[in-house]
Amino acid sequence: MWRVVLIGCVCLLGACPSDPTCTRNSECPAGSYCSGGACATECTPETVDDDCGEGASCSSFGMCVLPADAGPPPDASRSDGGLDASDLRPPCVVAGGLDTDGDGYCAEADGGNDCDDDDAGVHPAAAEVCTPSVVGARPADENCDGLIDESCAWNFGRPHWVTGLMAAGPAGSPNYNYEATVAPDGLTIYFRHAPTFGTGSSVVYVAQRAELDRPFGPPRLITSPSFPGLLPGLGVPAMDRDGVEVYFCADRDIYRATRTSADTFGVLERVPGLSTSEGEETPELANDGLEIIVPSGRRLLRATRETRSDAWSALEPVTFAPSPGLDFPQMNTPSLTPDGQTLFFYASAAVGFHYRIYRAERTAPGSSAFGSPIEMNALDGGVIEYFTPHISASTREMWYAASGGWSVSGYGIWRAEICRDGPCPTREVECLTPGVFSDDRLHCYSLASSPQTWGNALSSCGTGHLATVHSNAERDTLISLVPAGTYAWLGGYDGPGLGGLPDVPQCSQANPGCLFAWVTGEPFTYISWRLAQPDNNLGLEDALELGAAGMNDQPGSAPLSALCERELWPTW
C-alpha cells in the first residue's frame, strides 16, 4: 500500500519516522528518492518536465528532483505553475523535519506551524469547521489561528426550564436561584440561592448527575470548613478548564481555592490586587487560566498572567465599541468561550432595569477591547428577563437564570442548546393522545383513568412515570386533567418505599421540615399543599395526590387515577 501527500511529505506506513533513514536521494535505492527522512518509492507522476522547479527534472519514478545527490527538493519542486499553492513544501520538510499526520505541515515543535500534528485536518491552511451539535463533539481550532468556530453563527435552541435544582426555602416563600456554573466535565453544577430576594444574603449549592443526558440530583449546600463566615453572599465558582483552580467573590474581594471534590475546596485565600470598590458577584476565569474578568458596577475589569503560577497583573477596564442606545447601569457575570474570543455577560437596560444577556467579540486575541455588545434576543422564550449566562463548552449549552411561568416563583435556572453549524434542531417529547405538552414541549402529561392503588399506579404510565411537580404552571396543567371534585395520584411518597424505591421519613404538620420524595429521584422542592396538609392521618397516609385544592397525603391503598408524565431530558 502506498500513500501520496500533496504537499510533499510522503511517509511509508502512513507516518514519518522519528529518526530519519535518509537525508539525500543517493542514500535511497535506485528508483526511489528521499522525502521527509524516508525513502519514497511511489507518487503521482508529473506530466511534463516544465512543471518542476528551476534546476529540477521529473524523474522516472514520477517526482521532481534535483541532481541525485542534492537531497530533498526545494519548496517549489512540486510547483504546478501556481495553480495550487498548497503543493509548495514547507521549510521544515525541506530541512528534513517531521510531518507525523501527513498533511504537509510540520509540527510547531519541529520548526513548522502545524498546531496539531496528530490530525491531518488541522493545519494553517485548513478551513474552520463549525462544530456539529452532538454530545461529546469538541470544538477545534482547525486553522491554527488560536480561535475556535470564529466564522460560525451563534444559534440557540428552545429555552428549557431546569427542574431538580431549586433549593427549597422557608414554607410559602419563593425561591430565587441564579448564577449557575457547570464544571468542565458537565456533571456538576453550582448555583446561588437566595431564600428571600433583595436581602443580599445567598448561599451556594451543588448538584450532580451521573450522565450528560440525565437530570441533576438533589442540591446540597456547600459547607466546606474552609469557608467559615464567608458563605452568606458567596458567589458561585469560576473554574479553569480542569475545574481544579476556582475563584469566588465574597465581600467585594476575590478568593482562590483548589477544588478537592465536587463540593469540597481547599483553603480559601484572598487574591491580592483583584478587589474593587464596588461589589463583584461572579468573576470569570479563562479556559487556560491566564485571564480573569471581574464585574465592578457599570463595567467589567480584567487581569492577566503569563503562567498559572504567576501573580495577576493590575486590573484594567474591558472596553466595548460604541453602541448607540446602550447604557448599562450594571454589568455582571461574564462568561468566555473556550477560545476566549466571545464574551457573554448580563446587563440591566437603561430603562426599566430588565436584565438581558449580551455577547461581544474580542477585536484581537488577548486584547482587552471588544466589539459592540449584541443582545441575545433568541433567548426570549416567553420569559420576562434573563441574566447570569454561563457557557458550557463540554455540553454545548448556555445556562442562565430567568423568570417565567415554568420555573419556580421568582427566578429559576434555564438552559439552551448552542449550535454553531446551523439552526438548532427542534426537540420535543413524543406526547401520547390524549396528552398535554409543557410550554417547552419537553414534557407531556396525561391521565390514566383506571382507579388503582398508588403501588399499582407506579407501572401504569408505560415509558413515563407518575408526574412530579416543580412550579405553579406545571401544577395547573396537571390539575386541568383531573375531573372536578376528584384527586389523582402524583409520583410523591413518604414512608416505606415500594418497588425498590428508598424509604423516607413520614411527613406531617408536626414535622414541617420533612419532605416527600419523588419517584424519579428529583428533589422535592415545590410545595402547594391543601389547607392543613400533610397530616399523615392515623399514621397511614404515605402517598401524594393532587386536586383543585392542592396537594394532599393519602393512604396508598386508595383507588385513584394516575397522573402520568413523559419527559425528554435534552441530549445535545
pLDDT digits (tens, 9 = 90+) for 39-96: 665 444 434 334 444 444 544 434 545 443 333 333 333 333 333 333 344 555 545 5
Residue 199 burial (CB < 10 Å; 0-12/13-18/19+)? exposed
pLDDT at 321: 92
As a whole number, mean pLDDT of residues 298-303 equals: 90
Residue of 161, 165, 185, 184 whose CA lies nearest to 175: 165
What Cα–Cα distance (Å) separates residue 88 from each residue in 39, 53, 97, 129? 19, 10, 15, 24
Beta bridge partners of 320: 370
pLDDT at 270: 86
Given a cut of 80, is residue 500 above it in pLDDT?
no
Of 77-91, 164-178, 350-364, where does mean pLDDT reach its minimum? 77-91
pLDDT at 1: 28
How is domain 436-567 classified at the architecture level of CATH?
Roll (3.10)
If you average pLDDT over every residue of the chain, what do you get? 75
Residues 6+ apart with CB under 8 A from 486: 547, 560, 561
Q: Which of 70-79, 254-263, 297-306 has the highest mean pLDDT?
A: 297-306
Q: So where are the chain's domains? A: 1-126, 155-419, 436-567
As a whole number, mean pLDDT of residues 502-522 equals: 76
Higher pLDDT, 81 or 254: 254
Q: Which three cell numbers stand for residue 128?
A: 474552520
Residue of 293, 338, 360 whose CA lies nearest to 149: 338
Given a cut of 80, is residue 305 above it in pLDDT?
yes
pLDDT at 20: 55
The total of other beta-carbon atoms located within 10 Å of residue 170's CB is 8
Higher pLDDT, 286 or 11: 286
Report the percent of the chain where pLDDT is more than 70. 70
pLDDT digits (tens, 9 = 90+) for 94-105: 455 677 777 778
Torsion of CA 261, 265, 271, 276, to 10 degrees: 100
pLDDT at 561: 95
pLDDT at 224: 60
Q: b/e for 399-420, b at 16 or more Cβ within 10 A?
A: bbbbbbebbbbbbbbbbbbbbb
Of 53-67, 122-136, 443-457, 525-539, where does mean pLDDT reach its minimum? 53-67
pLDDT at 133: 63
Amino acid at the residue 55: G
Helix (H), strand (E), coil (C) string for 279-331: CCCCCEECCCCCEEEEEECCEEEEEECCCCCCCCCCCEECEECCCCCCCCCEE
pLDDT digits (tens, 9 = 90+) for 359-396: 999 998 889 999 999 888 667 655 667 888 898 877 88
Given a cut of 60, is residue 9 above it in pLDDT?
no
pLDDT digits (tens, 9 = 90+) for 465-497: 999 998 888 899 999 999 999 999 999 998 777
Residues 6+ apart with CB under 8 A from 476: none
pTM: 0.72
Hey, what CATH topology would domain 155-419 get? Neuraminidase (2.120.10)
Residue 368 burial (CB < 10 Å; 0-12/13-18/19+)? middle
Q: Which three cell numbers stand for residue 75?
A: 519548496
Q: Which of 22-36, 37-51, 400-414 has the highest mean pLDDT?
A: 400-414
Domains 155-419 and 436-567 share a fold: no
pLDDT at 75: 34
Asked whether the beta carbons of 565 and 467 are under 8 A apart, the reply is yes
- Residue 457 backbone phi and psi in degrees, to 5: -65, -20
Beta bridge partners of 375: 358
Report the percent of the chain where pLDDT is more than 90. 18
Hunting for cell 396528552 — which residue is that?
A: 435
